[in-house]
Amino acid sequence: MSFSTFGLSDEIIRAVTERGYTVPTPIQTQAIPAVLAGGDLLAGAQTGTGKTAGFTLPILHRLSDKSVKGPSSGRPPIRALILVPTRELAAQVEESVRDYGKYLKLSSMIMIGGVNINPQITRLKSRVDILVATPGRLLDHVQQKTLSLAHIEILVLDEADRMLDMGFIRDIKKILALLPKQRQNLLFSATFSDEIQALADNLLNKPVMIEVARRNATADKVTHVVHPVDRERKKELLAHLIKQHRWSQVLVFTRTKHGANKLAEFLLANSIPALAIHGNKSQSARTQALAKFKAGDLQVLVATDIAARGIDISELPHVVNFELPNVAEDYVHRIGRTGRAGSEGDAVSLVCVDENKLLTAIEKLIKREIPSQVIAGFEPDPRIKAEPIKNGRGGEPRGATHSRNPPKNQTNNKKPATKKPAGAGFARPATHHFAEPRRAGGRGR
């Protein structure tokens, strides 16, 4: 099957072909015809499956193939709204819209917090067909009456599970109340909790349902390993592994913003170029760090889970869990940054005695035992007793199944996090042929 099979316009096929993509992924094979048909869609898919093109391509086709509905005078209305949980993911999705719609007479815009709102207000005075936004900043504009959502024809909730994790359910409900009742709704989620089901029941009308792989599956070409180590020696072990194996591009996850900063400082002090990104970093700092990492100019990027969505790098070889996540499903999200597009990757976890219960929960979720390998010179001290994982900045008590607290001082995260049951979710297929966009940036035109 090729992309021309779907009946997409010649302009879209030309743009896709120029990107070097010819074979649709499983999610695209199912999602594109469903979206083109005009009905609602509920899809289980993680980043790395090609899901962005799965909804972007048919949306571009539908909007370019129809006359504009809306006011007879004044600027044309916003016709499609794509809501995403993080700024980085917003940039990635809007870049897809521009890349695949480059030969169409459609215009797109990114709307995120953490940056000056005035240029966004100015941009809204000209034509915007497709708006990619985070909920918090979108509501800022609604409050200032700088945009209207009265003519939205297509709504996309991308990574809906993460939006609920980050406490956006109230914001989403406010936004839904501003949209016309007659519209197409597309909901994409990597996991499928009770909250997601409730949202889908209230939002979607007789949706087509797509699940592209067994729940909480991990890519077949990702190699998992656990290195037992004392909590106070994790930093040393990480530096040792990076230097010994000459890792050139490593994404490292910590539980907290404070921990991410401290780890990046330690690595720099040990001659390993590293930067941290998290919710308290300015948007410009996050964008610059991510751009350097994607370009291969930064050896180590240390990230929290909230900042990790939207990190999409072709053939990223190594992901390290410096600390295991408190929510087992986040392990699947984290290691999903490697082994993308069918490539190989390593998922390394540094586990101290405090985290044994978290490791057990992860192994139960993914239905496999992760091999354990002690590194010579870093053998754990059996005399050290387990301690509770402190409820530090952004952290949670050990074994918690609810989602983390949203970071402070971030426009897009205003509400308390919702409770998230563990153990259920969609996951990405092991192999596919079409990957998400790989470049940094993605500002609206």
- Token output for 332: 């699947």
- Please report the pLDDT score of residue 424 as a whole number: 38
What's the DSSP call for residue 218?
-
The answer on 32 and 8 residing in a single domain is: yes
Residues 259, 336, single domain; the answer is yes
pLDDT at 403: 35
Is 376 a domain residue? no
Q: Which of 366, 400, 426 is the last residue of a domain?
A: 366
Asked if pLDDT for residue 220 goes beyond 80, the answer is no
Look at residue 421 and tell me if it is in a domain. no
**Are residues 237 and 140 part of one domain?**
no
User: Are 179 and 238 in a shared domain?
Assistant: no
Q: Tell me the mean pLDDT in the region 362-385.
A: 92
| CATH code for position 299 | 3.40.50.300
pTM higher than 0.85: no
Q: How far is CA 304 from the centre of its chain?
A: 12
Closest CA to 392 of 268, 301, 304: 304
The overall average pLDDT reported for the chain is 82
107-111, 209-213, 434-438: the lowest-pLDDT one: 434-438
* Ramachandran sector of residue 347 (left: φ over 0; alpha: ψ -120 to 50; beta: rest): beta
What is the residue type of 320?
V
Q: What is the pLDDT of residues 112-154, one digit of tens each?
A: 998 999 999 999 999 999 999 999 999 999 999 999 999 999 9
Domain that holds residue 319: 222-366
Measured CA distances, 192 to 86, 214, 342 (Å): 19, 12, 24
The more confidently predicted of residues 272 and 280 is 272
> 153 with 200, same domain?
yes
One domain for residues 157 and 256? no
Q: Which of 278-287, 308-317, 345-354, 362-371 has the lowest mean pLDDT?
A: 308-317
d(Cα 258, Cα 153) in Å, to the nearest integer? 42
Per-residue pLDDT band for 271 (boundaries 50, 70, 90) equals: very high
Q: Is the same domain home to 198 and 233?
A: no
Residue 30 lies in a domain: yes
Distance from C-alpha of 357 to C-alpha of 396, rounded to nearest angstrom? 14
CA angle (160, 162, 163) in 5-degree steps: 65
Rounded CA-CA distance 384/266 in Å is 23
Closest CA to 330 of 296, 314, 307, 312: 307
**pLDDT confidence of residue 314:** 63
246 with 317, same domain: the answer is: yes
How many domains are there within the chain? 2
